[in-house]
Chain A
Amino acid sequence: MSKPANLHPLVETRGVEKVYAAGSKVAALCGVDLKIARGEFTALAGPSGSGQSTLLNLIGTLDQPTKGTVSYEGRVVSGLDVDSLSDFRLRALGFVFQSYNLIPVLTAAENVEYPLVLQGVAPAERRKLALEALKLVGLEHYTHRRPDLLSGGQQQRVAVARAIVHRPDLVLADEPTANLDSKTGAQLLDLMEGLNKEHGVTFLFSSHDHAVLERARRVVQLQDGELKSDETRAR
């Protein structure tokens, strides 16, 4: 899943600020500069309200910064129109959410296929790719099950498969283990780590859990909307 090298970082935020103006103005992020290179396995850490989810939303182009820019391989994406952002996310990003967020009326395989459906991939091809992705997350025998018949861990694996099926540049995971018990959470991290190491999938995830943060090769610490530390660990 690796792509050709680019002189620019995969993701770069420059002076990103986000101010929410519900009643009184609240600054969620204050001028964050961050670079993520292709192939990284990076965690965003920090106490609740420190701005991790906001930063993930901005990097994921789900929200627009009040100030500053978000770039992918040197191309500024913050400020693109709604349809261009949708197309960008469809092609370049994968998402894993805290509460799985699978579509309840679709089976595991159909959920995984969905980004490919939106891309207009032919049915046979997308079924093949979805089965491959489900195999990667160890759920090749659960393809026809709907989410309500899967455990939390299995659902999150399906979500991971959905996030990687279209071979995105970056997978963003907002507290992916928060709803899982420690053992299942560890298994999910094993899976994500494996995908990163063996298939070169770039992960950026947020967590409050020390055990999860221990697994990251780079931990970016946020506090009160500012970047407090950026630590890379040798493995």
Chain B
Amino acid sequence: MLQLAWRNVWRNRRRSTINVAAMGFGLAAIMFGQSMIRSLQSQLIEKATGSFTGHVRIERRDIDEPKFPDKFMTNPEPAAKLMAADPRVLVWGRRIHMTGLVSSPTMSLGALICAVEPDKESKITDMAGYMKEGHYLEPGTKGIVMGKKIAGRLDVRLGEKVVLMAQAADGSMGAEAFRLVGIHETGSESFDGQMVWVPLSAMQELLGRPGQANELAAKVRNIDDADAVASDLDAQLGPGNIGAMSWKKIDKEIIGIQAFQDGLLTVVLVIVFIIVALGILNTQLMSLFERVREFGVLMAIGARPRWIVKLLIMESALLGLVGTTFGLTVGSLLIAHFGHHGLFLPVGDAFKYFLPFPSVIYLRPSWGMHAFACATVFVVTLLATLPPALRAGRLKPSEALRHV
């Protein structure tokens, strides 16, 4: 049967080739789409967590917005000990995030002040890698790092002093002078135009909050463990006012984007699957009408109707196998090509406003999703052949033999 089925598949070479091509290119398009969306999503997550958020944070529970916690933990050390003790945590650090005023001799601007522990922060986020001039913060100094745009607006250069002003613990305005040690350029308006970075100790001093922080941020060894780490830490922290959360609760907009993209991808997948199914259905129906007499002959010489049904299903299975293999090959080559050379995506510019985000995405295969797409194309091929196959099985031999 296999031999007959295989030869029947290639009986009408042009038609089968068109079918295989439709199936293959459809599958390749699905794989490309899956890979593009997943690569975009993972790049988005990497950039969001790697430039600002971190993977897991410990903050006060009564804050308004977890991304920018506005309330201080007066004694973060018990929580810090818990974080430090978790073997899944690669590195962690104390932070203060708050808005303030940064002034140069010629200009004052509102800014988001990020006070960090320089030695740890350079491992939690990759901001140190975006330095355009000078160097990243060093512990124990009163240096300041800022974006190229805000430095331009303030008209300050490396080595010059700026004054930071922020509301201190007692409600007064604290002020301190910092020397500009580094200018970064991420390409993001938010980062380059609105953020400044200072050492945590200097900021604690400015605010009159020694030993205080408004968040503890950690990078875990495997980002997939972030939820579990956050959940465990949260349980260990107990029901008090300090809790832990993963990046998914902090960067909720990324989860929203991810859900939207996944929904869009599903719609595209369904459309492609329907096109493939209609193509196969059409081929098998044409094949059935062309071969009615032949089925009559097979039935006359003793083939059971079920055998005819099996033959047609096997033909489809072979066609599906060839199409799937072709699609898998084309899809894999496409992903490998754009994984090596990168794919220019203007959507990067949209994200860039909020995050340091590249316009070129390097595709990565998502084998789990690709396997699902291959299996679905194959199953759709088999399902599409059922109506004509069952119809062939119901043919009456004498009528089939009279078919012209």
Task: Please tell me if A186 contacts chain B, counting CB pairs below 8 Å.
Answer: no
On whether A62 and B302 interact (CB within 8 A), knowing A103-B4, A106-B7, A118-B307, the answer reads no
Contacts of B358 in A (CB 8 A): none
Establish whether residues A101 and B303, one from each chain, have CB atoms under 8 Å apart when the complex forms.
no
A104 to B302, CA, bound (A): 18
- Tell which of A57, A87, A106, A110 touches B302, judged by Cβ atoms closer than 8 Å: A87
Task: Please tell me if B396 contacts chain A, counting CB pairs below 8 Å.
Answer: yes
Task: Please tell me if A60 contacts chain B, counting CB pairs below 8 Å.
Answer: yes
Interface 9-residue window, one of A90-98, A137-145, A190-198, A199-207? A90-98
A91 to B11, CA, bound (A): 29
List B280-339 residues whose CB lies under 8 Å from chain A.
293-294, 296-307
Closest approach, in angstroms, between the C-beta of B289 and any C-beta of chain A?
16
Task: Please tell me if A115 contacts chain B, counting CB pairs below 8 Å.
Answer: yes
On whether A101 and B302 interact (CB within 8 A), knowing A57-B398, A62-B397, the answer reads no
Contacts of A119 in B (CB 8 A): 302
CB 8 Å contact bits of B231-248 with A (1 = contact, 0 = none) = 000000000000000000
Residue of B nearest to A87 (CB): B302
A201 to B224, CA, bound (A): 76
Task: Please tell me if A8 contacts chain B, counting CB pairs below 8 Å.
Answer: no
CB 8 Å contact bits of B51-82 with A (1 = contact, 0 = none) = 00000000000000000000000000000000
Which residue among A86, A87, A89, A162 has the maximum number of chain B CB atoms within 10 Å of its CB?
A: A86
A119 to B302, CA, bound (A): 8
Task: Please tell me if B401 contacts chain A, counting CB pairs below 8 Å.
Answer: yes
Residue of B nearest to A61 (CB): B397
Establish whether residues B297 and A97, one from each chain, have CB atoms under 8 Å apart when the complex forms.
yes
Establish whether residues A63 and B301, one from each chain, have CB atoms under 8 Å apart when the complex forms.
no
Establish whether residues B300 and A82, one from each chain, have CB atoms under 8 Å apart when the complex forms.
no
List B151-193 residues whose CB lies under 8 Å from chain A.
none
A60 to B396, CA, bound (A): 13
Residue of B nearest to A88 (CB): B302
Closest approach, in angstroms, between the C-beta of B400 and any C-beta of chain A?
9
Establish whether residues B401 and A118, one from each chain, have CB atoms under 8 Å apart when the complex forms.
no
- Tell which of B11, B297, B396 touches A105, judged by Cβ atoms closer than 8 Å: B11
List A95-121 residues whose CB lies under 8 Å from chain B.
95, 97, 101, 103-106, 110, 114-115, 117-119
Interface of A is mostly: helix
Closest approach, in angstroms, between the C-beta of A179 and any C-beta of chain B?
14
Contacts of B307 in A (CB 8 A): 118
Contacts of A94 in B (CB 8 A): 301
Contacts of A90 in B (CB 8 A): 301-303
A94 to B300, CA, bound (A): 8
Which residue among A60, A104, A105 has the maximum number of chain B CB atoms within 10 Å of its CB?
A: A105
- A contact residues, total (Cβ < 8 Å): 26
Establish whether residues B304 and A86, one from each chain, have CB atoms under 8 Å apart when the complex forms.
yes
Which residue among B11, B299, B300, B306 has the maximum number of chain A CB atoms within 10 Å of its CB?
A: B300
Task: Please tell me if B8 contacts chain A, counting CB pairs below 8 Å.
Answer: yes
Closest approach, in angstroms, between the C-beta of B394 and any C-beta of chain A?
10
CB 8 Å contact bits of B1-28 with A (1 = contact, 0 = none) = 1011001100100000000000000000
Contacts of B1 in A (CB 8 A): 117
Contacts of A103 in B (CB 8 A): 4, 294, 297-298
Contacts of A118 in B (CB 8 A): 301-303, 307
Residue of B nearest to A56 (CB): B398
- Tell which of A62, A91, A106 touches B300, judged by Cβ atoms closer than 8 Å: A62
Residue of A nearest to B393 (CB): A82
A83 to B302, CA, bound (A): 9
A82 to B401, CA, bound (A): 16
- Tell which of B8, B293, B304, B398 touches A83, judged by Cβ atoms closer than 8 Å: B304
Closest approach, in angstroms, between the C-beta of A111 and any C-beta of chain B?
10
On whether A97 and B401 interact (CB within 8 A), knowing A63-B396, A105-B4, the answer reads yes
Closest approach, in angstroms, between the C-beta of B245 and any C-beta of chain A?
65
A117 to B396, CA, bound (A): 22
- Tell which of B8, B294, B297, B300 touches A60, judged by Cβ atoms closer than 8 Å: B300
Establish whether residues B4 and A106, one from each chain, have CB atoms under 8 Å apart when the complex forms.
yes
Residue of B nearest to A146 (CB): B7
Establish whether residues A82 and B294, one from each chain, have CB atoms under 8 Å apart when the complex forms.
no
Contacts of A82 in B (CB 8 A): 304-305
Residue of B nearest to A86 (CB): B304
Establish whether residues A101 and B7, one from each chain, have CB atoms under 8 Å apart when the complex forms.
no
Establish whether residues B300 and A95, one from each chain, have CB atoms under 8 Å apart when the complex forms.
yes
Establish whether residues B7 and A95, one from each chain, have CB atoms under 8 Å apart when the complex forms.
no
List A45-102 residues whose CB lies under 8 Å from chain B.
57, 60, 62-63, 82-83, 86-87, 89-91, 94-95, 97, 101
A14 to B330, CA, bound (A): 65
Establish whether residues B11 and A104, one from each chain, have CB atoms under 8 Å apart when the complex forms.
yes
Contacts of A63 in B (CB 8 A): 396-398
- Tell which of A104, A106, A110, A162 touches B301, judged by Cβ atoms closer than 8 Å: A162
Q: Kindly list the 8 A-B residue pairs having the minimum CB-CB distance in the complex, ordered from nearest.
A: A90-B302, A105-B7, A63-B398, A62-B398, A62-B397, A86-B304, A101-B297, A57-B398
B-side interface residues toward A, CB under 8 Å? 1, 3-4, 7-8, 11, 293-294, 296-307, 396-398, 401
Known: A86-B303, A95-B297, A114-B301. 13 other contacts (CB 8 A): A57-B398, A62-B397, A62-B401, A63-B396, A86-B302, A97-B297, A103-B4, A103-B297, A105-B4, A105-B8, A110-B3, A114-B298, A118-B303
9 cross-chain CB contacts under 8 A: A62-B396, A62-B401, A82-B305, A86-B299, A86-B304, A94-B301, A97-B297, A104-B294, A106-B4
